[in-house]
Amino acid sequence: MVREYKNTRPSEYVKPVELTEEEMRETKRIKVPCLPVEDRIGNFNEVELTITPEMAIKEARRCLRCDLSTEDGKRWLAMCRAESAVSD
């Protein structure tokens, strides 16, 4: 059986989330909590712990849409790259 994956458009338009300038600047990827090093020794427990519902919402809000192919998305991506180059 061969599966064929096709790029399709959503069946319903979802309006982009409007963020303020401050929210856009603060939209960073969340840091997943990890098990402390001393607790990792001598077992096979998961190192990456689960995220809280609040962290999940923050992460989902950060990448809720793939608008990078739109003009607004391209401007946002260029702004992020410029900020990244300045902070490096």
Query: Which pLDDT score is estimated for 5?
Result: 73
**pLDDT tens digit sequence for 7-61:** 666 566 556 667 777 877 777 788 899 999 999 999 999 999 999 998 888 887 7
Indicate whether 73 pLDDT > 90: no
Query: Alpha carbon of 50 to those of 8, 31, 45, 55, 72: distances in Å?
Result: 32, 11, 12, 10, 33
The confidence score (pLDDT) of residue 34 equals 94
- The first and second tokens of residue 3, run together, are 């599966």
pLDDT of residue 88: 54
Q: Which helix (H) or strand (E) holds 74?
A: helix 71-87
pLDDT at residue 8, as a whole number: 65
